[in-house]
Amino acid sequence: MNLRLFKQGVVVLLVTSSLMLSGCASIVSKSSYPISINSTPSGAKVTIKDRRGMDIYSGNTPTYIKLSAGAGFFTKANYIVTFEMDGYEKRSVPVEYGIDGWYFGNILFGGLIGMLIVDPATGAMWKLETEFIHETLSKTAATVEVPSLKVLSYNDIPDEMKDKLVRVR
For the stretch 15-54, pLDDT in tens is 555 444 444 445 556 677 789 999 999 999 999 999 888 9
- The stretches of 21-144 forming alpha helices (DSSP H) are 24-28, 111-113, 119-122
| Separation CA 163–CA 88 (nearest Å) | 44
What's CA 56's distance to the chain center, in Å? Answer: 11
The pTM score is 0.64
Q: How far apart are CA 56 and CA 68, in angstroms?
A: 11
Contact criterion met (CB below 8 Å) for 99 and 127: yes
Percent of the chain's residues with pLDDT above 70: 64
pLDDT band of 68, cuts 50, 70, 90: confident
Give kind and range of the element (H or E) at residue 126: strand 126-128
